[in-house]
């Protein structure tokens, strides 16, 4: 016998979009059901942001220790022997982090009185949903639907995932380190993982069709990352196409139509992600699309009344914090609050080596003024071995008003500057405002301050 639930809100997908929407809806007293085929947490917690950052952290420590085992040592630390990697322990630790966080989310959902159904949801029409759970089919006829089905990795037709061909998901759960790894696609996911594996001692080769790594970011921002790759013997094949695999590795074709094989035990394909729009009845819901994505307005409403969509399934940037911010907002709208999704900026971070942060406008025009300040002249950076040549913070403002419209940076440990960058852009700060804000000394944020002074024509430390 199947039962029918008639909640106020049905959320489909338990990623950072869906679970945040559900918790917020629950907090606001709305009767809420969340359907998730796996455990709650989504791409982000289970096979994305979190496990990748855990492994990147471990890889960073391993690399620093490898440097300490050199003849010269590192920062006054000397190791008698080269450090050894116990990959199983690394993976156990990473899994522990993921378990704690997903367990935490489950607890939060419980406390917000959200009913969680474990199973695959499919729709017969916009307001009729069926979920196959372990205890049988559950029907749901909600007043509101929030679609948060997220995204999946894009496969190359010539190289489907499986065997030695990995998506980011498998790469984050390897049981043995390959000696050689080819990474196809040098976007942020490919680079974050490629760099982590290089730090762990794997010989890594990158293949990218564009003429630069991280093609979505400008050259100045990506150069320090490219420099790191050069310095650490990571092979780079730019303007090159992956053709397929052969016994020895990955076949590629270069811009000059040369063909050859990159020796690779494993091949990681990170050529992008696509919205998960298939297999759950989207086509039966009469919802308008916009290209590959579900079309939404600034309230995350779809073309069908009381059907909302959030997160990766709705378009770029496919980032966890965009999904969460949308989720929070939709819950509040359903509860009767007036909200719009109109952030002045959504920060983006690449946890590469060094890290890149970008907020707001990044391509200045005639009408803009730019101030750039190097970490080489920042005391905190120098005190933690982070003053590399070519790393900087850059502030872009309107010439007329002085209003800051974009801030970017590249440098070691700068991911935490994202909060400051986005606060400035969100508050509509001008260069003068930023110049007037006292920054603690010695901190990396002083570089942000100086970049504004530079744009105003009077930086102190350069």
Partner 1 sequence: MADYDYDVLVIGSGPGGYVAAIRAAQLGLKTACAESRETLGGTCLNVGCIPSKALLNASELFHEAKSGALAKHGVKLGNVELDLPTMLADKDKAVTGLTGGIEYLFKKNKIDWLKAHATFKDAHTVEVAGKSVTAKNIIIATGSSVTPLPGVAVDNDKGIVVDSTGALSFKKVPGHLVVIGGGVIGLELGSVWQRLGAKVTVVEFLDQILPGMDGEVRKEAAKLFAKQGFEIKTSTKVTGVSVKGKKATVTVEPAAGGAVETIEADAVLVAIGRRPNTEGLGLDKIGLELNKRGQIETDHEFATKVPGIWAVGDVIPGPMLAHKSEDEGIAVAENIAGLTGLVNHDVIPSVVYTHPEIAGVGLTEEQAKERGEVKIGKFPMLANSRAKAIAETEGFVKIIADAASDKVLGVWIIAAPAGTMIAQAAQAMEFGATSEDIAYTCHAHPTHNEAVKEAAMAVQGKPIHI
Ligand X SMILES: Cc1cc2nc3c(=O)[nH]c(=O)nc-3n(C[C@H](O)[C@H](O)[C@H](O)COP(=O)(O)OP(=O)(O)OC[C@H]3O[C@@H](n4cnc5c(N)ncnc54)[C@H](O)[C@@H]3O)c2cc1C
Catalytic residue numbers, as ranges: 441
H or E stretch at 114: strand 114-118
> For residue 192, is it left (φ>0), alpha (ψ between -120 and 50) or beta?
alpha
Question: Can residue 13 be called a binding residue for ligand X (CB under 6 A)?
Answer: yes
Question: Can residue 214 be called a binding residue for ligand X (CB under 6 A)?
Answer: no
Question: Can residue 177 be called a binding residue for partner 1 (CB under 8 A)?
Answer: no
Contact residue for partner 1 among 184, 193, 269, 444 (CB under 8 A): 444
With tokens 């729709």, the residue in question is 123
Binders of ligand X in range 306-325 (CB under 6 A): 311-312, 318-321, 323
Question: Can residue 88 be called a binding residue for partner 1 (CB under 8 A)?
Answer: yes
User: In 10 A of CB 369, how many CB atoms?
Assistant: 17
Question: Can residue 364 be called a binding residue for partner 1 (CB under 8 A)?
Answer: no
What are the φ/ψ torsions at residue 41 (nearest 5 degrees)? 140, -35
Nearer to partner 1, 124 or 460 (CB): 460
Question: Can residue 149 be called a binding residue for ligand X (CB under 6 A)?
Answer: yes
> What is the total count of residues that contact ligand X (CB under 6 A)?
36
Question: Can residue 345 be called a binding residue for ligand X (CB under 6 A)?
Answer: no
Nearer to partner 1, 2 or 173 (CB): 173
What is the C-alpha separation between 57 and 45, in angstroms, rounded?
A: 16
Nearer to ligand X, 275 or 402 (CB): 275
Among ligand X, partner 1, none, partner that 343 touches (CB below 5 to 8 angstroms by kind)? partner 1
Handedness of CA 109, 114, 118, 122 (dihedral sign): negative
Binders of ligand X in range 15-54 (CB under 6 A): 15-18, 35-38, 42-44, 48-49, 52
Rg of the chain on CA atoms, in Å: 24
444, 429 in Cβ contact below 8 A?
no
Among partner 1, ligand X, none, partner that 423 touches (CB below 5 to 8 angstroms by kind)? partner 1
Question: Can residue 45 be called a binding residue for partner 1 (CB under 8 A)?
Answer: yes
**E strands in 156-263:** 165-166, 180-184, 203-208, 235-238, 241-246, 249-253, 259-263
* Pairing verdict, β 180-184 and 128-133: unpaired
The overall longest dimension of the chain from CA atoms, in Å, is 75
Question: Can residue 286 be called a binding residue for partner 1 (CB under 8 A)?
Answer: no
Window contacting partner 1 (CB under 8 A); options: 143-151, 214-222, 402-410, 417-425? 417-425
> What is the total count of residues that contact partner 1 (CB under 8 A)?
97
User: In 10 A of CB 301, how many CB atoms?
Assistant: 16
- Going by the DSSP 8-state scheme, the letter that residue 265 receives in this structure is S
Structure tokens at 307: 């059907």
Binding mask 157-186 for ligand X (x = CB under 6 A): -----------x------------------
Which residues of this chain interact with ligand X, rule CB under 6 A?
A: 12-18, 35-38, 42-44, 48-49, 52, 120-121, 148-151, 168, 189, 276, 280, 311-312, 318-321, 323, 441-442
């Amino acid at each position: 016998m199947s039962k029918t639930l008639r909640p106020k809100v049905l959320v489909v997908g338990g990623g950072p979009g869906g679970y945040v929407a559900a918790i917020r809806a629950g907090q606001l007293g709305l009767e809420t059901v969340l359907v998730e085929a796996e455990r709650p947490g989504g791409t982000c917690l289970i096979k994305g942001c979190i496990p990748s950052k855990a492994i990147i952290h471990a890889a960073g420590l391993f690399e620093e220790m490898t440097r300490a085992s050199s003849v010269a040592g590192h920062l006054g630390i000397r190791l008698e022997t080269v450090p050894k990697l116990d990959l199983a322990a690394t993976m156990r630790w990473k899994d522990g982090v993921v378990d704690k966080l997903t367990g935490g989310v489950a607890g939060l959902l419980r406390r917000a009185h959200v009913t969680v159904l474990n199973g695959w949801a499919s729709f017969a029409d916009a307001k009729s949903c069926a979920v196959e759970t372990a205890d049988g089919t559950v029907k749901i006829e909600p007043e509101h639907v929030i679609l948060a089905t997220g995204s999946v990795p894009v496969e190359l037709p010539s190289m489907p995932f499986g065997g030695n061909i990995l998506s980011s998901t498998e790469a984050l759960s390897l049981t043995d380190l390959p000696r050689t790894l080819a990474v196809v696609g040098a976007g942020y996911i490919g680079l974050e993982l490629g760099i982590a594996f290089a730090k762990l001692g794997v010989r890594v080769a990158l293949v990218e069709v564009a003429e630069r790594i991280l093609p979505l970011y400008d050259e100045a921002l990506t150069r320090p990352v490219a420099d790191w790759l050069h310095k650490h013997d990571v092979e780079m094949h730019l303007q090159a196409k992956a053709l397929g695999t052969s016994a020895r590795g990955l076949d590629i074709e270069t811009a000059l139509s040369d063909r050859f094989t990159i020796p690779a035990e494993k091949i990681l394909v990170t050529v992008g992600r696509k919205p998960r729009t298939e297999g759950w009845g989207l086509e039966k819901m009469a919802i308008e699309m916009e290209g590959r994505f579900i079309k939404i307005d600034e309230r995350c409403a779809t073309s069908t009344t009381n059907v909302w969509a959030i997160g990766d399934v709705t378009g770029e940037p496919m980032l966890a914090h965009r999904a969460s911010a949308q989720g929070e907002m939709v819950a509040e709208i359903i509860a009767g609050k007036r909200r719009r999704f109109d952030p002045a900026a959504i920060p983006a971070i690449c946890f590469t080596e060094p890290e890149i942060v970008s907020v707001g406008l990044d391509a200045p025009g005639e009408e803009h003024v730019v101030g750039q300040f190097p970490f080489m002249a920042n005391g905190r950076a120098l005190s933690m071995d982070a003053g590399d040549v070519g790393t900087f913070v850059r502030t872009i403002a309107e010439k007329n008003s002085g209003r800051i419209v974009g801030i970017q940076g590249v440098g070691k440990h700068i991911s935490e500057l994202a909060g400051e960058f986005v606060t400035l852009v969100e508050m509509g700060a001008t260069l003068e405002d930023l110049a007037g804000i006292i920054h603690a000394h010695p901190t990396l944020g002083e570089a942000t301050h100086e970049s504004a002074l530079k744009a105003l024509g009077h930086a102190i430390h350069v």
